[in-house]
């Protein structure tokens, strides 16, 4: 340890530190400046940016020994505070720069450093700066951030008033609609670093809190012979070591398997007992007083394993000699056939029919939120265990874990924290049960923070699909039939693996009028990372397969891909049905395709003109859809509560993982409450909690439709209940109490979905969103490297609630689609455990030119006509990119990500074929 004097935000600090400790840890754990976030923890994401003696510094990697005596450090807390925002922070709010908000402090500090040295940077200079300084954002696609910097710089230079950064309510007072840029309620907390995320709240637990560290498997498949904690238990600072023996219930997470699933859904242990099923599986938890002590004790726990063959892919798990990963359940544990219309065999056999075939493998895309997984828990005064986590399905997760822990309904409460993005991985329980069992076993508040390697290696991933799509058309290109055949690698745990497999049936070929389909999807158990939800869930993989297959079909027909799509797409006034045999709730494909046509033609001309012998430019198209809701019938609940101070609490379990639940709830409620003329600041958003009305999980773009619907109904009930009988307006809280009128109003919203039957037919969703995407790319022939130059994305997401939110969702989703198409994977457990290793897209990987065009069409089942938003950008742009590579090179990349080596190989294979 050493003593050092430093100045932080103008305040002198005399600090006592381990020289090897990082500045970020000292700021957070010793000085409690929690606005400085730790994302990757290895200098790859910039969430921890601070300014040290004028220089932008990644505080998570700089050690205290390198901080000079009397260093002057500026953190987000020194830039501005909620009551005194800096213009950069105001611009961030105005442009919706904070979605999950976890990267915002780092970006804002970085912007401060940029504008201190360059008060008038160009957009390219801003992008260069963020690239150079590795500021990573996973939500926004970077565009609103650059917009915010440009506008903040203008204000700081005195070329605009600071008031120009403030939101102005329109004269009529509305905040719902595609013209609405009302800032989300959590924005100010996010841009000031004062909104506390799980890892921040953990550091604010009472001093008797325990740090949890996991003993994890370092092999992918093994039998456990013994677990010896005796030596570790004696180590200093160890409070207790928890193993499966401490788990009071059946030690299983309930995967809620379908009845048709060959497994019972109870194969996932909370703490491994007999077997290790994947790398990273939790074998024991060390609860200790400090991180250092917990980590030291982890190393001393001895686990004796009998290592088994690891099945890390579909072919390996399906090999004839493969043993059952879960003994008693076949590795292929769920099969869903698809039989729509006529049998396709005769069609494909017809000599007048043109056919095509496309085989693809999709990736195990990692979600890569900037904030690694974290949770904490404690026993409350009623003796219940309270778990705070990044859960995006608190009621769902409660059901999934309570039996394993032997906790009754009153004994377990789940709450969602402000969180730095999930993009769906938290549709699965991750560490909730581990924290809960630790709290049970120790009686203390406990917290578990994953580092980024754990985040990558031991949270769910997008499940790869392996499969084939075949089209049959008439000579003019009109689709007559489609055949599909695919396997889903869902890792070792079945939870929702059956559900996911249905998405292949529901979305392959979804944009087109395909009268006859035959196909089959299968869910396969492997020893790779367990599958979990991810934006576009299944629709992503399905439409990658079918939209590339559509391009292959067009090529086979020597037809322009746009023409092929326009010919076959569902059309306004048509009678076509989607792959599930269901009518479409909105028919805008033809309109969106027509609208994109001029740009498509310009792009083709530009690609031709600008291609060089070394750099080939290409243009790709894709179309697609996604459903909003749980598969089949769905419902949600909400409550509107009038408070004594005149505020109205919109109480739901609409989990906010950065997508904008806060704005969704407040925007919808405000619209519903318009007759009352309530000011939007009076509406209070609540963080999801199992004590709140059951709103269902926040996934599958269902929340705006389902919980938004419930909010609307609750608010309508609220208005009806509080309307004074004499028509003179609405009761105040005191008046209502006096009149004996209730102040709290529940609302329930249900939709009559019909789940897929044995033939894969039904009406699984009552609301869908639709999109058509155009991508322009450049391929560097020498390296195979692909760069996306420009994207146009025409979307039909019903009526827009809030433009800042939907723009952000769509820009950010396109960015993830680019990563999905070109760089992101979690295939190599070691190489892909870091953000950079796993192909995280930084700002220069994402074009500054992404245009979103809304084709607003009100939905019957959407509140005020709104559909969902989040999934559609992960369902359409990535095949457009793959198709653009083909357009540029004539080569088909059949496995994503289209890494340079795969592109080179595809080009080589094409050239071979030619020869």
- 234 near its own copies, judged by CB under 8 A: no
Among 292, 590, 744, 905, binds its own copies (CB under 8 A): 292
Total residue length of the chain: 915
- State the virtual CA torsion across 51, 52, 57, 63 in degrees, nearest 10: -140
- 744 near its own copies, judged by CB under 8 A: no
- 293 near its own copies, judged by CB under 8 A: yes
Nearest residue (CB) to its own copies, 3 versus 226: 3
CB of 282 to its own copies, least distance (A): 23
Nearest residue (CB) to its own copies, 62 versus 379: 379
Among 237, 309, 574, 633, binds its own copies (CB under 8 A): 237
Among 11, 307, 319, 594, binds its own copies (CB under 8 A): 11
- 445 near its own copies, judged by CB under 8 A: yes
Stretch 58-97: interaction string toward its own copies, x if CB under 8 A? -----------------------xxx--------------
CB of 83 to its own copies, least distance (A): 4
CA distance 221 to 327: 13
Nearest residue (CB) to its own copies, 98 versus 907: 98
- Contact stretch for its own copies (CB under 8 A) within 143-151, 206-214, 862-870, 873-881: 206-214
CA distance 640 to 730: 14
Stretch 346-385: interaction string toward its own copies, x if CB under 8 A? --------------------------------xxxx----
CB of 391 to its own copies, least distance (A): 16
The structure tokens listed for 42 are: 């290895």
Query: Distances from the Cα of 812 to the Cαs of 111, 185, 583, 762, 817, in angstroms?
Result: 20, 20, 30, 32, 9
Nearest residue (CB) to its own copies, 209 versus 617: 209
Q: Is 504 helix (H, G, I), strand (E, B) or coil?
A: helix
CA distance 403 to 265: 13
- 12 near its own copies, judged by CB under 8 A: yes
CA distance 899 to 832: 14
- Contact stretch for its own copies (CB under 8 A) within 17-25, 720-728, 829-837, 893-901: 17-25
- Contact stretch for its own copies (CB under 8 A) within 16-24, 609-617, 754-762, 813-821: 16-24
The DSSP output letter for 362 is -
- Contact stretch for its own copies (CB under 8 A) within 7-15, 217-225, 516-524, 816-824: 7-15
Q: Are 693 and 639 in contact (CB under 8 A)?
A: yes
Q: Are 169 and 680 in contact (CB under 8 A)?
A: yes
| Residue whose structure tokens are 């004996």 | 740
CA distance 371 to 38: 7
CA distance 622 to 548: 8
Among 122, 161, 274, 290, binds its own copies (CB under 8 A): 290
Q: Is 612 helix (H, G, I), strand (E, B) or coil?
A: coil
- 451 near its own copies, judged by CB under 8 A: no
Among 120, 124, 204, 734, binds its own copies (CB under 8 A): 204
Q: Is the dihedral of CA 884, 885, 887, 888 positive or negative?
A: positive
CA distance 376 to 447: 4
CB hemisphere CA count around 74 (13 angstroms): 18
Among 30, 164, 178, 451, binds its own copies (CB under 8 A): 30
Q: Are 801 and 815 in contact (CB under 8 A)?
A: no
- Contact stretch for its own copies (CB under 8 A) within 26-34, 493-501, 522-530, 846-854: 26-34
Q: What does 288-333 look like in DSSP terms, one character per residue? A: ESSHHHHHHHHHH-EEEEEE-----SHHHHHSTTPPPSSTTS-SEE
User: What are the φ/ψ torsions at residue 845 (nearest 5 degrees)?
Assistant: -80, -15
Adjacent-strand bridge partners of 228? 302
CB of 203 to its own copies, least distance (A): 9
Nearest residue (CB) to its own copies, 83 versus 609: 83
- 21 near its own copies, judged by CB under 8 A: yes
Stretch 239-278: interaction string toward its own copies, x if CB under 8 A? x---------------------------------------
- 748 near its own copies, judged by CB under 8 A: no
Among 3, 226, 352, 612, binds its own copies (CB under 8 A): 3
User: What are the φ/ψ torsions at residue 210 (nearest 5 degrees)?
Assistant: -115, 140
CA distance 719 to 674: 10
CB of 204 to its own copies, least distance (A): 5
Among 29, 128, 716, 845, binds its own copies (CB under 8 A): 29
Catalytic residues: 871
- 32 near its own copies, judged by CB under 8 A: yes
Q: Are 366 and 372 in contact (CB under 8 A)?
A: no
Nearest residue (CB) to its own copies, 10 versus 677: 10
Nearest residue (CB) to its own copies, 68 versus 675: 68
| Residue whose structure tokens are 């912007």 | 111
Among 55, 172, 207, 351, binds its own copies (CB under 8 A): 207
Nearest residue (CB) to its own copies, 391 versus 717: 391
Adjacent-strand bridge partners of 712? none
Nearest residue (CB) to its own copies, 84 versus 352: 84
CB of 201 to its own copies, least distance (A): 7
Q: Is 766 helix (H, G, I), strand (E, B) or coil?
A: coil
Rounded to the nearest angstrom, the gap between the alpha carbon of residue 742 and the centroid of all alpha carbons in its chain is 38
Q: Are 698 and 655 in contact (CB under 8 A)?
A: yes
CA distance 876 to 625: 8
Nearest residue (CB) to its own copies, 205 versus 308: 205
CA distance 82 to 75: 15
Other C-beta atoms within 10 Å of 384: how many? 17
Helical H segments across 632-771, by residue range? 661-672, 703-722, 733-739
- 691 near its own copies, judged by CB under 8 A: no
- 31 near its own copies, judged by CB under 8 A: yes
CB of 129 to its own copies, least distance (A): 26
Stretch 568-607: interaction string toward its own copies, x if CB under 8 A? ----------------------------------------
Q: Are 417 and 34 in contact (CB under 8 A)?
A: no
The structure tokens listed for 834 are: 């870091």
CB of 662 to its own copies, least distance (A): 12
CB of 95 to its own copies, least distance (A): 22
Count of residues in contact with its own copies, rule CB under 8 A: 49
Question: What contacts 24+ positions apart, CB below 8 Å, involve 3-6?
Answer: 4/64, 4/67, 4/69, 5/69, 5/70, 6/67, 6/69, 6/70, 6/71, 6/72, 6/73
Q: Are 749 and 668 in contact (CB under 8 A)?
A: no
Nearest residue (CB) to its own copies, 392 versus 867: 392
Among 6, 17, 48, 60, binds its own copies (CB under 8 A): 17
- Contact stretch for its own copies (CB under 8 A) within 45-53, 283-291, 590-598, 738-746: 283-291
- Contact stretch for its own copies (CB under 8 A) within 203-211, 214-222, 423-431, 834-842: 203-211
Strand (E) or helix (H) holding 555: helix 539-557
- Contact stretch for its own copies (CB under 8 A) within 13-21, 220-228, 510-518, 530-538: 13-21
CA distance 401 to 65: 45
CB of 167 to its own copies, least distance (A): 18
Binding site for its own copies (CB under 8 A): 1-3, 9-19, 21, 29-32, 81-83, 189, 192, 194-196, 201, 204-208, 236-237, 239, 289-293, 378-381, 386, 415, 445, 687
């Amino acid at each position: 340890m050493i003593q050092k004097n430093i100045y932080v935000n103008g305040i002198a600090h005399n600090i006592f530190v381990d020289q090897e400790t990082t500045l970020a840890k000292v700021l957070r754990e010793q000085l409690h400046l929690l606005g400085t976030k730790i994302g990757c923890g290895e200098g790859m994401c910039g969430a921890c940016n601070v300014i040290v003696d004028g220089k932008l510094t990644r505080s998570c990697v700089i050690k205290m020994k390198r901080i000079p005596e009397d260093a002057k450090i500026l953190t987000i807390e020194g830039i501005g505070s909620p009551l005194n925002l800096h213009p950069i922070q105001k611009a961030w709010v105005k442009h919706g720069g904070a979605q999950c908000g976890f990267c915002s402090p780092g970006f804002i500090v970085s912007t401060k450093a940029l504008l201190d040295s360059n008060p008038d940077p160009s957009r390219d200079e801003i992008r260069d700066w963020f690239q150079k300084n590795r500021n990573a954002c996973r939500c926004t696609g970077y565009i609103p951030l650059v917009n915010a910097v440009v506008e903040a710089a203008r204000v700081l230079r005195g070329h605009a008033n600071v008031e120009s950064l403030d939101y102005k309510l329109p004269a009529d007072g509305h905040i719902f609609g595609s013209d609405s840029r009302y800032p989300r309620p959590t924005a100010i907390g996010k841009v000031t670093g004062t909104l506390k995320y799980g890892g921040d709240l953990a550091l604010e637990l009472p001093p008797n809190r325990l740090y949890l560290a996991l003993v994890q498997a370092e092999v992918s498949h093994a039998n456990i012979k013994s677990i010896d904690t005796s030596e570790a238990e004696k180590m200093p600072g160890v409070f207790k070591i928890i193993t499966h023996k401490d788990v009071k219930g059946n030690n299983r997470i309930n995967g809620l398997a379908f009845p048709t699933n060959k497994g019972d859904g109870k194969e996932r242990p909370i703490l491994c007992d007999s077997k290790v099923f994947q790398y990273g599986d939790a074998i024991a938890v060390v609860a200790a007083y400090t991180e250092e002590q917990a980590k030291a004790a982890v190393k001393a726990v001895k686990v004796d394993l009998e290592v088994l063959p690891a099945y890390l892919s579909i072919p390996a798990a399906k090999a004839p000699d493969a043993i059952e990963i879960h003994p008693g359940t076949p590795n292929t544990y769920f099969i869903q056939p698809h039989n729509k219309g006529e049998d396709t065999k005769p069609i494909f056999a017809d000599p007048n029919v043109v056919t095509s075939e496309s085989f693809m493998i999709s990736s195990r895309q990692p979600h890569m939120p900037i904030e690694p997984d974290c949770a904490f828990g404690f026993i409350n005064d009623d003796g219940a265990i309270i778990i705070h986590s990044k859960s995006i399905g608190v009621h769902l997760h409660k059901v999934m874990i309570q039996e394993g822990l032997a906790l009754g309904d009153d004994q377990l409460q789940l709450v969602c924290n402000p969180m730095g993005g999930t993009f769906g991985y938290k549709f699965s329980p991750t560490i909730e049960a581990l924290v809960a069992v630790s709290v049970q076993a120790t009686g203390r508040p406990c917290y578990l923070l994953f580092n980024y390697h754990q985040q990558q290696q031991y949270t769910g991933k997008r499940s790869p699909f392996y499969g084939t799509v075949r089209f049959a058309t008439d000579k003019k290109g009109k689709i007559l039939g489609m055949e599909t055949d695919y396997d889903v690698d869902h890792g070792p745990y079945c939870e929702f693996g059956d559900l996911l497999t249905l998405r292949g049936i529901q979305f392959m070929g979804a944009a087109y009028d395909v009268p006859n389909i035959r196909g089959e999807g299968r869910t396969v158990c492997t020893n790779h990372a367990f599958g979990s939800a991810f934006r576009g869930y299944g629709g992503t993989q399905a439409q990658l397969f079918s939209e590339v297959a559509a391009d292959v079909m067009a090529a086979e027909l020597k037809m322009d891909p746009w023409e092929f799509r326009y010919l076959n797409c569902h059309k306004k006034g048509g009678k076509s049905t989607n792959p599930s045999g269901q009518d479409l709730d909105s028919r805008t494909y033809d309109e969106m395709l027509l609208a994109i046509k001029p740009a498509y033609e310009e792009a083709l001309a530009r690609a031709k003109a600008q291609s060089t012998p070394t750099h080939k430019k290409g243009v790709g198209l894709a179309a697609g859809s996604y459903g909003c809701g749980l598969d089949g019938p769905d419902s949600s609940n909400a409550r509107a509560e009038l408070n004594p101070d005149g505020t109205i609490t919109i109480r739901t379990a609409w989990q906010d993982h950065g997508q904008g639940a806060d704005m969704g709830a407040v925007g919808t409620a405000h619209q519903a409450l318009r007759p009352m003329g309530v000011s939007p600041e009076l509406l209070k958003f609540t963080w999801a909690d199992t004590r709140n009305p059951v709103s269902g999980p926040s996934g599958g773009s269902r929340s705006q439709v389902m919980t938004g619907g419930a909010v609307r109904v609750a608010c309508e009930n609220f208005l009806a209940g509080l309307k004074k009988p004499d028509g003179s307006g609405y009761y105040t809280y005191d008046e209502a109490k006096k009149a004996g009128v209730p102040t709290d109003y529940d609302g329930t919203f249900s939709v009559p979905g019909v789940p897929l039957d044995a033939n894969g037919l039904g009406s699984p969703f009552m609301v869908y969103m639709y999109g058509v995407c155009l991508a322009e790319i450049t391929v560097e022939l020498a390296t195979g490297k692909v760069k996306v130059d420009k994207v146009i994305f025409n979307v039909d997401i019903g009526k827009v609630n809030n433009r800042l939110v939907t723009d952000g969702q769509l820009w950010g989703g396109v960015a993830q689609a680019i990563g999905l198409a070109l760089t992101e994977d979690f295939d190599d457990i070691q190489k892909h455990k870091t953000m950079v290793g796993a192909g995280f897209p930084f700002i220069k990987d994402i074009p500054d030119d992404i245009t979103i065009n809304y084709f607003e069409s009100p939905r019957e089942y959407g509140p005020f006509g709104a559909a969902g938003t989040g999934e559609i950008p992960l369902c359409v742009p990535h095949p457009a990119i793959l198709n653009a590579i083909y357009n540029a090179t004539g080569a088909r990349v059949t496995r994503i990500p289209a890494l340079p080596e795969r592109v080179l190989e595809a080009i080589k294979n094409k050239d071979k074929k030619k020869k």
